Amino acid sequence: MNIDTRPGRHRAPGGYSPFGELKSIARESAQPAMKGAAVVAAAGGLVATLSAPASAETITDTSAVVAASKVAAPKAAVAVGPDAATVPALAPAPALSSIGYTAPAPKKAAKPKPLVIKDVVVEKDRKEAAAKKAAAEKARKAAAARDAAERASRDSSRTSLTTPTYTEKSTVNGTSGTKSSYNWATAGQCTWGALNKWYQSEGYYPGGWTGNAMEWAWGAANAGYTVSGTPRTRSILVMQPGVYGSSSVGHVAWVTAVNGNEVTIIEMNALAGPYNYNTRTLTDISGMKYIYAP
């Protein structure tokens, strides 16, 4: 009679051993250790309820059990508090707030000053343009001042030419000659200026002769006036050509003062030009004659 010694529950009742069953399962399993551990765990309840009989076969290969014990158990979830992301942060209170200390307010950062980069060429051009403009304005003002001075001089001369300043004389300075009702000389010339000064001093124009300035001494004498080589005030000085810069037709002026042989005159169309008067002091020399006003 043959006895069935194959592992499994189909063996004869007298030959079954639970530990032999487990040993057989572990040995024949070709799966990884995890599968063996799962099998052990599944059969754990059966093992726990069985007590090995004295004649039970002892497990000599414990590799499967050791492998099962080495399987890492799943880690339990760590209990933590509320999610930090959902809890608002608390502002730290100042340490000295309990004694009334208040932290100073943070200072505002100073605004940076804008950096200005100047164009040297442009600045130079602007300065040169400003200097030119200032120079032009200065020249314009100077020209305006000269024009104003010239106009004032002409206005003053014209006013003096038309405003009599004579007074009646109690004595005469020479014989009376012919009189004229107008200034018969050419306007703006030295002859016109001398006659105008005579009129301002005496109240009338002398007359009775014509001609260039160098001919006046002879013409006045013929018209009844006293002509002398001795200088006197209230007289017309007659200078021959070349005397003190006189032109080729001579020059005449009105004598305003005499100091010895020094004669002070006022003259037109000399140093100041036509229509303008100027004064000079000359030394009496040859070539100078004087027509006295009465």
Cα distance between residue 73 and residue 84, in whole Å: 29
Average pLDDT score over residue span 13-24: 64
**Within a domain: residue 114?**
no
What is the widest separation between alpha-carbon atoms in the chain? 209
Total domain count, the chain = 2
Whether the predicted pLDDT of 161 surpasses 60: no
Whether the predicted pLDDT of 59 surpasses 50: no
Paired tokens of 147: 């024009």
Computed over every residue of the chain, the mean pLDDT equals 76
Distance of CA 252 to the CA centre of its chain: 62
**Within a domain: residue 62?**
yes
**Within a domain: residue 60?**
yes
**pLDDT value at position 152?**
77
Average pLDDT score over residue span 11-17: 57
Paired tokens of 102: 């208040």
Range among 58-67, 105-114, 145-154, 179-188 with highest mean pLDDT value: 179-188
Task: State which residues form the domain around 39.
Answer: 13-69
Domain boundary among 25, 48, 69: 69
For residue 57, what are the CA distances in angstroms to 17, 23, 45, 104? 7, 10, 19, 86
**pLDDT above 70 covers what percent of the chain?**
57
**Within a domain: residue 21?**
yes
pLDDT tier at 197 (50, 70, 90 boundaries)?
very high
pLDDT tier at 220 (50, 70, 90 boundaries)?
very high
What is the sign of the dihedral through the CA atoms of 4, 10, 11 and 12? negative
pTM of the model: 0.44
Cα distance between residue 236 and residue 227, in whole Å: 9
Q: Which helix (H) or strand (E) is 253 found in, with range?
A: strand 251-259
Unique residue bearing structure tokens 């942060």 = 89
Whether the predicted pLDDT of 200 surpasses 90: yes
**Within a domain: residue 256?**
yes
Between residues 8 and 259, the one the model is more confident about: 259
**Within a domain: residue 74?**
no
What is the sign of the dihedral through the CA atoms of 134, 138, 143 and 148? positive
Q: What is the pLDDT of residues 262-277, one digit of tens each?
A: 999 999 999 999 999 9
**Within a domain: residue 268?**
yes
CATH number at residue 206: 3.90.1720.10
**Within a domain: residue 171?**
no
Cα distance between residue 5 and residue 16, in whole Å: 9
Residue 264: partners with Cβ closer than 8 Å, 6 or more residues away: 255, 256, 257, 258, 279, 280, 281, 282
